[in-house]
Amino acid sequence: MTEREVRVRFAPSPTGPLHIGGVRTALYNYLLARKLGGKMLLRIEDTDQNRFVPGAEEYILEALAWCGIVIDEGVGVGGPHAPYKQSERKPMYKQYADQLIADGHAYYAFDTPEELDAMRARLQAAKVPNPQYNSITRAQMRNSLTLPEDEVKALLDGGAQYVIRLKVPRKEEVRFQDLIRGWVVVHSSAIDDKVLMKSDGMPTYHLANIVDDHLMEISHVIRGEEWLPSAPLHVLLYRYLGWEKTMPQFAHLPLLLKPDGTGKLSKRDGDRLGFPVFPLEWHGIDGDTGEPTLSRGYREDGYLPEALVNFLAFLGWNPGSQQEIFSMDELIQAFSIERVSKSPAKFDQNKVKWFNEHYLRAKPNAELAPYLLEALHEHAIVCSPEKAEQIVGVMKERVSFPKDFWQEAKYFFQAPTEYDPAVVSKKWNAEVGAALTAYAAALPGAPAVSAEDLKTLFNDTMAAQGLKPGQVLQALRVAVTGAAAGPDLFETLVILGVPEVVERLRAAVVALG
Ligand code: GLU
């Protein structure tokens, strides 16, 4: 037998912005596809038209592209199984529901919403904890299993409203092997007779998902833990449709928890806990008030996609070594489903920031300079790209996000108007002021303007003043930048240039005495 081609899919529903948990699901699918030389598909599961949110599909595509998750086949790309959007595949599903009916695995149900409510009320009154339409209750309902054949035919011919339900057996063990969780065994009495086709002729998620995974020859279904309870039902569908032999392998990923471990990280947690839970910013509408809402995104908050990807990869997987920094290619090499954990992963906002700092520092200055140049442009400050590169070069060890460059590097463009009071009170006195005046006088004669030269000149000038450099260094920094801390001081002087430093020293002496 030839090895089965690895084909995985990410199958989001366009019901809003993609949560970072969804991005992790897409990422793990992508890593496995690339690792095993397979294909990554994107299918949009939009059979629930009531939950459709405009812009969500575009958001999904943009978010995946930003993260570097490349789709081989699917929405936005096309491929041999097009269309990849379920609403556009609507005519394909009915035949499979009909097949299930013909084979005795599904049935028509004509119950009205009132009849369904009455059934639930009856069961609740009888203290049934979880009333369901199932192998027991179906016997009391209006469906093609209880009604005479001619009545069923008359109802169908007369255009009566109906749904098609799966006939779940009463006493059967449904088992399947999950790649992450091992054997999962569920008794069929715990599964209800799920609706497969709705009265509007749309398939439900369950039917469409199985039909599409089969037709699209999906080999592995990798998805969030919230789908684990549906998996036994899906196994029954594969069996009843005669597709069990090619049923995909299942892998249900661990839950993502809030940072304190108290429950699932939800879409609302971002605003509450002060960090984004979405890859990109999302402009939405509040469901209750109808007011426009804005949810933060990693991209707009200044995270680099490499950092988010590296972080998400570790939320539920580890390489089994101490290495933490992985490029996408390295993740592809290292990834395996066997190393995905089944225990939930706690979100850690400090860790994602740590990854961001790492990736920011690893970037060449030329790639970071545009962030500073953009901010300078907004403030109508002219700066050469070379100078911007020098500045981000000395600042990148000190910032977490590209947007911090401007905030932290402002003093390269604006002479201080205030001086850190703690440094002034501790380090500034008349003697220090005189020493800095001497340094200002000596600077124009510096043999060359390198950090080393300016430092030597400083040490020599201080020695001539009878002071140790350490007594004056902090005062020098505060005089030139206004701040108590910053990058290498003499590098800073070089970037500022001697005339500017001299001017700032003189101004500080005037201001501070
Ligand atoms: N449409 C489902 C979702 O939104 C897909 C679940 C699956 O991967 O089977 O998550």
Q: What does the pLDDT read at residue 117?
A: 96
Q: Are strands 73-74 and 39-42 parallel, antiparallel or unpaired?
A: parallel
pLDDT band at 405 (very low <50, low <70, confident <90, very high): very high
The 3-state secondary structure of 367-426, one letter per residue: HHHHHHHHHHHHCCCCCCHHHHHHHHHHHHHHCCCCCHHHHHHHHHCCCCCCCCHHHHHH
> Which ligand 1 atom is the nearest neighbour of the CA of 234?
9
Ligand 1 mutation pick, 220, 227, 233, 253, max ligand atoms within 8 A of CB: 227
pLDDT band at 2 (very low <50, low <70, confident <90, very high): low
Q: Is the pLDDT of residue 271 over 80?
A: no
Q: What does the pLDDT read at residue 3?
A: 78
Task: Round to whole Å and give the CA distance between 394 and 374.
Answer: 18
Pocket lining for ligand 1, CB < 6 angstroms: 11-13, 45, 205, 209, 223, 227
State pTM to two decimals: 0.92
Domains parsed from the chain with CATH numbers: 89-206 (3.90.800.10), 364-412 (1.10.8), 421-512 (1.10.10.350)
Instruction: Tell me how far the alpha carbon of residue 116 lies from the centroid of ligand 1, in angstroms.
Output: 27
Task: Round to whole Å and give the CA distance between 392 and 405.
Answer: 7
> Which ligand 1 atom is the nearest neighbour of the CA of 12?
4
**Out of 35, 267, 346, 410, which one is annotated catalytic?**
267
Percent of the chain scored above 90 by pLDDT?
94
Instruction: Tell me how far the alpha carbon of residue 22 lies from the centroid of ligand 1, in angstroms.
Output: 9
pLDDT band at 160 (very low <50, low <70, confident <90, very high): very high
Residue 32 CB contacts under 8 Å (≥ 6 apart), including other chains: 6, 8, 38, 220, 222, 335, 337
Instruction: Tell me how far the alpha carbon of residue 1 lies from the centroid of ligand 1, in angstroms.
Output: 31
> Which ligand 1 atom is the nearest neighbour of the CA of 213?
9
> Which ligand 1 atom is the nearest neighbour of the CA of 205?
1
Instruction: Tell me how far the alpha carbon of residue 223 lies from the centroid of ligand 1, in angstroms.
Output: 7
Q: Is the pLDDT of residue 162 over 70?
A: yes
pLDDT band at 130 (very low <50, low <70, confident <90, very high): confident
Calculated CA dihedral for residues 112, 118, 124, 125, nearest 10 degrees? -170
267 is annotated as an active-site residue: yes
